[in-house]
Chains A and B, each alone.
Chain A
Amino acid sequence: MADWSLKVVKPENFRGTANILSNGGNNPLTAMFGRDETENPEVKGYAIYAVFENLSEHKMEAVKAVFGEGESLCYESLTSVIPAAVWYEREIQDMFGIVPQGHPDPRPLVLHDTFPEGFYPLRKNVAKDVEVRGNRRMDMSVAKGEGVYEVPVGPIHAGIIEPGHFRFSQAGESMLQLDARLFYTHRGLEKIMEGKTPEEALPIVERICGACSIANTWSFCQAVEKIAGVKIPRRAEIIRTLLMEIERITNHVGDLGNIPAGVGFNPAISLGGRTKEMLMRLQERIAGNRFLRGVIVPGGVHQDIDSALINDIADIMDKVKTNVSDLSEMFAQQANFQNRVRTTGIVRKNTAVDLAMVGVGARASGFAHDSRKDFAYGLYPELDFELVTEKTGDVAARLALRIAELTESFGLVEQLCNLLKADKSNDPSNLTSQIDWSNVSGEDWGLSESARGSNFQFVALQDGKIDRIFVRSASYPNWPALTIAVQGDIIPDFPLINKSFELCYACIDR
């Protein structure tokens, strides 16, 4: 039994059931995805899932609509009642050709203009590496009116950042509206992983996104381990949780050095950059590469963290702590910096809830949404840490929140290092539970809190091979919020607002 309560309904009852599960918007929509089960004799059709987090009962609740053989692939769109569904529904339409009727913005999302109409790559009858060319329509959404003009930016930007196209509708200096075209780095990773064993898929999962490789592999491993019904060794759980916190610290520190780059505050950029480099080198000492790849594997972890490494970690954390507190003082003492970050890029709490935002973006707006507290995984239930929130939802709040979360994470790293030291089972054969995948079938999900928020994955295995994998990284639900946050601010504030969310492209594009 998968780790959720699942209702299977007819397409016409999908919206109603989803609406009940969303509980008036109190249960955030975690993910929506499609699936081709035409080859499954019991289904012989397509399916869509909507997954909700029941925050008060700490469990996942899902609804699945099945479109049987020959049935029309249409259902009533959820977006008008559950705004968080807006991108998921567009993605499902692109990938499977399942149409959300009445969707307010049914433009293509994932596949850009060189793809033909009617090409649905996640259908099983489409070959993985098929080469199709076409000329589909891709319009940008813009505001019109007297004196309103458009500013196109990207996909190739001035700095060293990932590709995306932004279209600002401007009234003078103020941004009236922003439309973002993303998915430039869409590599078709979900399709590529189909038919692979979890072990074969792992190098790809690690490379969905560089910044969150621990979060992505952890979610993936949770899902496949639940399907296989294995428990992983305790020492491996400690190491996974420790790596997750180190990855969070590295990303948050990187952001403390990066957000001031939005206003050219050089001493802070430089101190942040140096501190991040210390952490990258620590990660290399732990994993053999600077992005913690290759440590988490299905069944446990691949490498131990011995007492010498634990001392290294403690030593670096001390230095990082000092630098973070200096950075925090620098921010506080610089009046003109405060002037730029306060009241800039506001997301209100009800917007955050409506869009089912996650992570820093949600918590900075007062929405206490953190999978480390909401779901019991890893070592988190045993550890002592606070769920921090801020109220103002502006750039300043997102910055302050990261600083406060860093303090919590330093505490977590210390607790985890002590647990590792106290753990006497550090015999290498005790780091992974062996899994024989050959007969493993089933479906389940995994979730872990990356630096940006929760990373959700759904995996379905058929005889040990991936039949469907859906990857929803933390940036996915937060992107639409960015386009709302900028409204009314001036264009020169866009880089600052953008950096304060630090949304990733690679993992939403996949």
Chain B
Amino acid sequence: MFKVIERLLGDKIATEKISLTGSERFRGKINGSCPENLREECAKVCPVGAFKVTADAQGYAVDYKKCLFCGKCVEKAMGNLQHSSDEALPVITEDAAEVTAEVIKQKLGRSLHVRHLDAGSCNACDFEMGAMSNPIYDLHRYGVHVDASPRHADLLMVTGVVTRNLEQALKMSYEAMPEPRLVMACGACAAGGETYGASYAIVGAADKVVPVDIYIPGCPPRPSAMIAGLLAAADMLAERM
């Protein structure tokens, strides 16, 4: 008993502000301009087809829904591209896009109930979801709760590519939710579906099976990015009520 009391009294509050900036080596959003002769090369090394050559001034575009933040394109670009240490922001579907900025001010009094569904993840996304509840991130302070059942949830947080063996569970969980309901595709697998490529056992991204409202880039997204996404989702929900 003594040790428990000693730590309870001795430890300071651990909870931190959410930061979307990582450490020095952190591989976040891709910046820089890519010379023409290298663009094709970059696109070729991208394992998931997230790096595309475009006709605009930058000459490339990255689909952050699919990107694994693996650094291969940056390396190919030989110093012309860099990973910034900022995380890529959530991607919100068009009909929901106008919601955010306005409502984001009215943060008080809202709450969001979340049901997690692993549709075929490597479990890193799940571990980071679990970390949201540790004292450092303390998800509860934002009024966000993780529920035991989809029947109590406002938002279904899907991680992983949807596998054949889980397709039905995803559909049934979505159908069990009360309206209004939101679906979040969390991480490159659920959001982009290209992590492993196609197989007999993979259906694909979450939006192949259920309508998705918000996508969180990252492989896996860090807990802070997940929380930022959940806060945006809470605002979208307020608008739909």
Contacts and interface: CB of A to CB of B under 8 A. Distances in A.
A353 interface: no
A288 B25 contact: yes
A187 B161 contact: yes
A114 B167 contact: yes
A114 B23 CA distance: 44
Nearest to A325: B3
B160 A277 contact: no
Contacts of B200: 121, 126-132, 188, 191
Contacts of B31: none
Interface stretch (A202-210, A433-441, A483-491): A202-210
Nearest to B128: A290
Contacts of B123: 162, 209-211, 504-506
B70 to A, nearest CB: 6
A189 B126 contact: no
A326 B7 contact: yes
A134 to B, nearest CB: 11
A334 interface: yes
Interface in A215-269: 254, 267-268
B65 interface: no
Given A161-B126, A188-B199, A273-B131, A267 B7 contact: yes
A284 B136 CA distance: 16
Nearest to B147: A158
A210 B25 contact: no
Contacts of A204: 195-196
A289 to B, nearest CB: 6
Contact of B117 (A156, A187, A203): A156
**Of listed A186, A254, A303, residue having the most chain B CB within 10 A:** A186
B164 A115 contact: yes
Interface string B136-153: 100000000010111000
A233 to B, nearest CB: 19
A128 B198 contact: yes
Contacts of A326: 3, 7
Contacts of A330: 3-4, 7
Interface string A264-304: 00011011011011001100111111110110000000010
A130 B131 CA distance: 37
A290 B69 CA distance: 12
Contacts of A155: 166, 169
A189 B83 CA distance: 28
Nearest to B83: A288
B134 interface: yes
Nearest to A257: B134
A280 B127 CA distance: 11
A162 B22 CA distance: 27
A285 B25 contact: yes
A204 B202 CA distance: 14
A192 B118 CA distance: 21
Contacts of A267: 4, 7-8
Contacts of A290: 128, 220, 222
**Of listed A277, A289, A290, residue having the most chain B CB within 10 A:** A289
Q: Is the interface of A mostly helix, strand, loop or mixed?
A: loop
B118 A161 contact: yes
A160 interface: yes
Interface string B106-131: 00000000001110111111111111
Report, as a range, how many residues of chain A touch the other chain: 35 or more
Interface in A102-136: 111-112, 114-115, 121, 126-132
Nearest to A155: B169
A276 B124 CA distance: 14
A326 B11 CA distance: 12
Interface string A436-454: 0000000000000000000
A268 B8 CA distance: 10
B27 interface: yes
Contacts of A128: 197-200
B1 interface: yes
Interface string B2-22: 111001100100100000001
Nearest to B114: A160
A386 interface: no
A75 interface: no
A289 B26 contact: yes
A334 B83 contact: no
B131 A277 contact: yes
Contacts of B118: 161-163, 185
A382 interface: no
Given A187-B202, A210-B220, A270-B135, A506 B165 contact: no
A315 interface: no
A185 B165 contact: yes
B121 A333 contact: no
Contacts of A185: 118, 120-121, 160, 163, 165-166
B165 A186 contact: yes
A187 B124 contact: no
A184 interface: yes
Nearest to B75: A302
Nearest to A127: B200
A254 B127 CA distance: 10
B216 interface: no
Given A128-B199, A187-B202, 6 more contacts: A129-B199, A156-B150, A185-B166, A186-B120, A273-B136, A333-B3
Interface of B: 1-4, 7-8, 11, 14, 22-27, 47, 68-71, 83, 116-118, 120-131, 133-136, 146, 148-150, 160-161, 163-169, 173, 195-202, 219-220, 222
14 contacts: A129-B198, A184-B169, A187-B120, A187-B161, A187-B201, A267-B4, A267-B8, A271-B7, A273-B136, A277-B136, A290-B222, A291-B124, A333-B2, A506-B123
